[in-house]
Structure 1
Amino acid sequence: MANAAHETTEVELGDKTVAIPKGGLFDRYRMDVPLDEVAADPRVPSVDFFRTLPKTQVESPIGTTRTPNFYYAMTSARLTMLAPSSAIRRRIPDELAPLEVAPGLGVVSLMLFRYDVCDIDFYTEAAVGVAVRPARNGGLTTAIADVVTALGDDHLHSYVLSLPVNTEIAQVRGHDGYGFPKWVTDLDVDIDASRTTARIANANGGVDVAFSAPTPKQKSFASGEKVSTLTSYTKRDGAWHTTLNQTNILASGTALFPRGVDLEIGEGRMADDLRALKPIRAIQFDANTSAQAALHMPVPFSVR
C-alpha cells in the first residue's frame, strides 16, 4: 500500500481533472483554510498578514474559486540581468514595452519559488520574465522613475515567458485560470541563509536551467513592514488581464553585481527563452528566506 503521505485524490478544475494530496489543505478546504489552523503549523511564522485580506468567491475558467490564493510560508529568489531591449521586444507582445534602465538595455529576471505551506499545498516553480513599462503609463521621465522602483522590489510590472511548476494543480490553475505559460516538470528549489539552489528539468530529465549562488545576508522585517507587489500581464481568451501578487517579506537580502553565481542554461523551454533574451550580465540578486504572499485572480485590463 502506498505511503499515506503520498496518497492522492482527484478534483475537477474547469474541464480538467487533477490529482492533489489526499487530506491536504486544498482537499479539505478548497481555498478557504481557517487561519487559526494554519497558525498552528510550526512552519508558518504568523497569519497577521492574511487577516487583513478577506477572500471573495469568483467565477473563473477553473470553476468557482476563492481569491486571493494564500502562501503562508515560502522562500523566493530573483536574479536580475541586463539584456538588449531589441531582444526583449522580439519576445513580448507589441502592446507591451520593455522597462529600460539605459538606452537599449532592459531587465530580464530568473525567479525561483518554493511554497512550503499554501492553499494548494506544497509546490515549487521558476520563471523567466521581463520587466515592462506599466501599461498606459507613458513618458520617458516616468519610465526612468519606474526603474528605481522596480529594482527596489517595491512594485514590478512583468511579462512572464516561462513558468514551470512541479504539481498538476499549480499548472492547471496557473495556465487555465491565470493565463500563465505553465507546464509540469521535475523542479527543485532550496533557499536558506547560506545558499540558493535550483534545478529545472527538461522533457528528457536533463537540465533545462540550473542555478546556484550564495544567499545574500538576510535582514528581518516585521509582518507588514516590507510588502512588495508584482503586476503581471497575461492574455486569456484574447483579452488582456492583470494579476496582482502581494509579498509580505519577513527575511530578505540583496547583492548588487553578485559574485559566485552559477547559472547553467541547458536545453529546454526555459533555456530557449533565456538564450533568446540574450542576457548580458547579472546586476542584482535578491533572496527571501522567509516570506508570505497573496496571489489575486486576474482581472480584465486595457493595456492601451
Structure 2
Amino acid sequence: MSTPAEDTVEVDLGGRTVTVPRGGLFDRYRMDTPLDEVADDPRVPGVDFFRELPKTQVESPIGPTRTPNFYYSMSSARLTMLAPSSAIRKRLPDQLSPLEIAPGLGVASLMLFRYDVCDIDFYTEAAVGVAVRPARNGGRRTALADVIAALGDDHLHTYVLSLPVNTEIAQVRGHDGYGFPKWVTDLDVDIDDARTSARIANSDGGIDLEFSARTPKQKTHASGEKVSTLTSYTQRDGAWHSTLNQTNVLRSGGARFPSGLDLTLGTGRLSDDLRSLKPIRTIQFDVNTSAQAALHMPVPFSVR
C-alpha cells in the first residue's frame, strides 16, 4: 500500500533517506510514542502490556533509536510445514552448524503479518523461515522434538530466508538495523475472524505468492495471559546476532493438519525460498486476529 508523496516526509536512518507518513507516529515521536495517546486509538485494544516494557536508547547501524519497537495493534498467521532436513540444511549458513537440525524431518514456516498501529506506522510483511534448535541446546532430543516442544511452549527459534515488506522504513530498519533479508514490494495481508488472505507481488508486478484460508475459530485471552516469544538469528556486519520478539496474543486459534488452504506459489523470491525447502505437509495453521508485540533490537551472539 503506497502513500501519496504529498502525504509523506523524509527522515534519515543512519544515512539512508526514507519516506514516512506525514503526521504519523514515527514522524511525530521517533519510536517514543506516548502510551496514553496510543490508548485513545480505537484500533488499539489497550497498552498495559507495554507499560511493563520500558524503552531504552541505543546506538545502531540506523542511528540512535529507541527499543523495543512497539506494535500496538496487529494480526498474524503461520503455516507450519514438515520439510526434509536435507533441504533445510542446504539453506542454513555454514556458521549456523551448532543450530543445525538433525537428519530426518525439520520444520519450515510461512508467516504473514499485518501491523495496523505501530511505532513505524502501518505496514505488512511475509516471511519464509526454518525452525532451528535453540542455541547452545545440549539436550538429546531431535530437532523435530525441539520444535514440537517449542510450538507447545510458544517459544520458537528461527532462521529467516525471506522477509518482504511494503514500506521503506520497515525495509531499512529490518535490513540495516536487524540484518533481515527484507525488500519492498506490493504486499497485502488481510486477517479477520472469517478469512486470512495475502498477496505478495514480485518485481514485475505479477504474483510471487498468494494465500487464502478460513480463519480457525478464535479464543479471547486477557492481556499478558498468552505471551509467545520468537528468537531469530541474523548476520549483520559479519557478526551473528539474535533478535527477540515478544507477542501478547489477545485472540487466537489454530488447526492441526488443516484442510481447505489455498496456497499459490508464483514467480519470485518468496516462492523460490519456500520451494527450496521442499515442504511435504502442512501440520498446523495458527492465526492471531488480535495481538501486540515488542521487537527488541538485535544483540551480538556467538554461534560457536
Residue aligning to 2:196: 196
Q: In the alignment, does 2:183 pair up with 1:183? A: yes
Give the length in aligned residue pairs: 300
Residue aligning to 2:206: 206
Aligned partner of 2:164: which letter? P
> Which deviates more, 294-303 or 6-15?
6-15
RMSD across aligned positions (CA):
1.5
Q: In the alignment, does 2:215 pair up with 1:234? A: no
Q: In the alignment, does 2:161 pair up with 1:161? A: yes
SS in 1 for 2:141: helix
Taking structure 2 as the reference length, the TM-score comes to 0.96
Residue aligning to 1:149: 149
Question: 2: distance between equivalents of 1:31 and 1:283?
Answer: 37
Residue aligning to 2:131: 131
> Which deviates more, 222-231 or 142-151?
142-151
* Contact map agreement 1:149 1:156 (CA 8 A) in 2: no
* Contact map agreement 2:245 2:295 (CA 8 A) in 1: yes
Aligned partner of 2:25: which letter? L
SS in 2 for 1:141: coil
What does 1:253-264 correspond to in 2, within 5 Å?
253-264=253-264
Query: Can you list the C-alpha shifts for 1:49-100, whole angstroms capped at 9, x where unaligned?
Result: 0000000000000000000000000000000001000000000112333446
Displacement of 1:142: 7.0
SS in 2 for 1:53: coil
Query: Can you list the C-alpha shifts for 1:143-197, whole angstroms capped at 9, x where unaligned?
Result: 4652233222610000000000000000000000000000000000000001100
Question: 1: distance between equivalents of 2:111 and 2:4?
Answer: 32
What does 1:1-304 correspond to in 2, within 5 Å?
7-96=7-96, 97-99=99-101, 103-141=103-141, 143=143, 146-152=146-152, 154-304=154-304
Displacement of 1:137: 1.1
Structure 1's 94 and 32: CA in aligned 2 closer, same or farther, altered over 3 A?
same
Taking structure 1 as the reference length, the TM-score comes to 0.96
Question: 1: distance between equivalents of 2:144 and 2:289?
Answer: 30
Q: Share of identical aligned residues, percent?
A: 80
* Contact map agreement 1:99 1:147 (CA 8 A) in 2: no
Instruction: List runs of 5+ in structure 1 lacking aligned partners.
Output: none
Query: Can you list the C-alpha shifts for 1:186-210, whole angstroms capped at 9, x where unaligned?
Result: 0000000011000000001111011
Question: 2: distance between equivalents of 1:118 and 1:201?
Answer: 23
Question: 2: distance between equivalents of 1:133 and 1:125?
Answer: 24
* Contact map agreement 1:254 1:287 (CA 8 A) in 2: yes
Displacement of 1:303: 1.3
* Contact map agreement 2:132 2:147 (CA 8 A) in 1: no
Instruction: List runs of 5+ in structure 2 lacking aligned partners.
Output: none
Question: 1: distance between equivalents of 2:251 and 2:90?
Answer: 36
Structure 1's 176 and 215: CA in aligned 2 closer, same or farther, altered over 3 A?
same
Question: 1: distance between equivalents of 2:39 and 2:7?
Answer: 25
Structure 1's 95 and 136: CA in aligned 2 closer, same or farther, altered over 3 A?
farther
SS in 2 for 1:248: strand
Question: 1: distance between equivalents of 2:4 and 2:146?
Answer: 49
Aligned partner of 2:174: which letter? G
* Contact map agreement 1:99 1:107 (CA 8 A) in 2: no
* Contact map agreement 1:233 1:243 (CA 8 A) in 2: yes
Structure 1's 212 and 6: CA in aligned 2 closer, same or farther, altered over 3 A?
farther
* Contact map agreement 1:242 1:299 (CA 8 A) in 2: yes
SS in 2 for 1:49: helix
